[in-house]
Amino acid sequence: MAMGKKIKLPKRTKYFFDQFVHGANKQILHPLDWRRFYIFIQASHEGNTKLLQGELEGLLIDNGFPEDNASSLSNIYYHGRHLLESKVILRYVYNPC
């Protein structure tokens, strides 16, 4: 849901956000739209952007995305950021039988 609060993204993050929202098919994302969205997530991570899931949802709605798509994308953003922040090193041993 749109929050009414003006969110100010850092310049670099905003550039990649704008690349995504201005080029995207807001109803059904095309593979190139997904690529731009993933680049935005990466830019947010690299820039240490403080952007909550609900704030992104509001930004997406303010930029013409239907609420259900904005909700789904903000959820994907949240999980993508956490994956990048986790820096998980897999220490599993593959032991074929």
Chain centroid to CA 48: 13
Q: Do residues 43 and 16 touch, judged by C-beta distance below 8 A?
A: yes
Q: What is the pLDDT of residue 97?
A: 66
> So what's the pLDDT on residue 90?
62
pTM across the whole model: 0.84
Residue 86, pLDDT score: 85
Which portions of the chain are predicted below pLDDT 70?
1-5, 88-97
Domain extent listing, the chain: 11-86
DSSP 31: H
Spacing of C-alpha 94 from chain mean position = 33
Q: What is the pLDDT of residue 24?
A: 96
